[in-house]
């Protein structure tokens, strides 16, 4: 089992529905079925390992403010989330490791940046 994660625009016609799937030619791709898209399908354990390894565990799993505190769930993305992802990217790049956690971080940063720039109501969705 695992998550389906989508970063995108809050659907205004049905706010309980998942954001639309977006494909962009310059989006991150690492040889996965969801390459170039705003969606990922990590296992529960892989996403938790990623969150721990990148210092983003609180951003995702904090019981009061975490983006994934509800499962399934949808939470608004803010500039604070971008700052947290940017910091995690900076710290991870200092390690010089380009592994699957780094790839997930690259995906996370790309789509958080994209959503905050192009979406009226950017959200992080998980099911």
Taken as a whole, the chain contains a residue count of: 127
Cα distances (Å, whole numbers) of residue 109 to 41, 56, 63, 64, 114:
16, 12, 23, 23, 8
pLDDT tens figures, 80-98:
999 999 999 999 999 998 9
pLDDT tens figures, 32-80:
999 999 999 999 999 999 999 999 999 999 999 999 999 999 999 999 9
d(CA 19, CA 22) in angstroms, rounded, equals 9
Which tokens go with 88? 């995690």
Which tokens go with 37? 């898209």
């Amino acid at each position: 089992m695992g998550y389906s994660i989508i970063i995108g625009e809050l659907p205004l016609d049905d706010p309980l529905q998942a954001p639309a799937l977006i494909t962009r030619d310059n989006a991150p791709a690492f040889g996965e079925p969801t390459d170039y898209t705003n969606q990922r399908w990590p296992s529960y354990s892989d996403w938790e390992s990623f969150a721990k390894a990148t210092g983003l565990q609180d951003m995702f799993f904090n019981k009061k403010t975490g983006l994934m505190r509800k499962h399934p769930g949808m939470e608004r993305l803010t500039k604070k989330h971008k700052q947290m992802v940017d910091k995690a990217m900076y710290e991870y790049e200092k390690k010089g490791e380009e592994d699957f956690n780094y790839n997930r971080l690259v995906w996370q940063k790309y789509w958080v940046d994209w959503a905050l720039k192009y979406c009226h109501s950017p959200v992080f969705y998980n099911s």
